[in-house]
Amino acid sequence: MRFTVLTLACLLALPAAGAVTLPQNPLLLQRADPFIQRDATSGCYHFTATVPDFSALEIRSSCTLAGLKTAKAVQVWQKKASGPMSANIWAPELHRINNIWYLYFAASRTDAPFQIRMYLLSNPSADPKQGRWHEEGELKTHLDTFALDATTFSHRGKQYLLWAQQDVAQTYNSALWLAEMDGPTRIKGTPVKLSEPTLPWEIQGYKVNEGPAVLVRNGRVFVTYSASATDHRYAMGLLWADANADLLKPQSWQKKPEPVFATNAALKRFGPGHNSFVLAEDGKTDLMVYHSRDYRDLQGTPLTDPNRHTRLRLLQWDANGFPLFAPEQAD
């Protein structure tokens, strides 16, 4: 087993069993669509997110969650001057599959800024902030349409891709799709549609289902997602399936009719969403990572107002094994 300096530091910094202390929120300012990857062996944390000017991909690492506040942001890739991957670099996720790091992200072109597609990079280095990131190209699906927010997960020996994409036959902006993967860079088979924005809370401003995140717990596969315009109306929903079900059958999935996490003006939490999940430093407590603003009225537009800040909160569970996202205490 190879150990980096960060790996050894993380092992030394691991807290006593049962000790869960979260850093003060916000964890990081002006970082939207946050994703934290925790190394299962060392406990090291690697953070990536959308940067305010949508120009690059960056990673910061720390032995502790609190350390991410002051960890140096290392830019690992810069947008192109023109052509594919030259504008709107959004929502990166960092995954380690078969000892190779992959960065999944969305991007467009300077001459067509909303021709959003999904792309990925790979890096065989032990530390994702080092080595060379190789451009693997576009992550293509069954549709050549607006697509973003790719996430990947392994379940019962299969690797899956879950993402948001427009269906040209419909009138909404994006739905959630799921497909099995044939390696980390491509899908196989026919994707299935898991969720469309049809509920009243999902179609405020824009008709959107996006930003999926996966958590397998208590005999179920849970998928959170975000919906509506990315202002104070942005909110999170929940899908779930039995862990033993065929995930590629739409009938395996159920959907809560109401949002599970939304704006709470009393707590100065506006437009929370695009979350991910990570284990706390005890290696067993689930945390939710998300972004939100601390005011309602935008400074400009949803895309030009940079003040979506990264936050953390403990994820709680009810007696039936379902996640509780919003016991309404301040983070």
In angstroms, the CA 308 to CA 298 distance is 11
Structure-token pair, residue 23: 């850093």
Residues tagged active-site: 33, 210
Q: How far is CA 184 from CA 122, 252, 279, in A?
A: 9, 24, 23
Structure-token pair, residue 72: 């140096």
In angstroms, the CA 184 to CA 245 distance is 23
* Spacing of C-alpha 23 from chain mean position: 20
In angstroms, the CA 201 to CA 235 distance is 8
**Which long-range contacts link 64-73 to residues 24+ away (Cβ below 8 Å)?**
64/13, 64/281, 65/22, 65/23, 65/27, 65/36, 65/280, 65/281, 65/287, 65/312, 66/21, 66/23, 68/23, 68/27, 68/28, 68/36, 69/23, 69/27, 69/28, 71/47
DSSP 8-class letter at 140: -
Structure-token pair, residue 12: 């030394």
Residue 124, classified by CB atoms within 10 Å of its CB into exposed (0-12), middle (13-18) or buried (19+), is exposed
Structure-token pair, residue 189: 């088979």
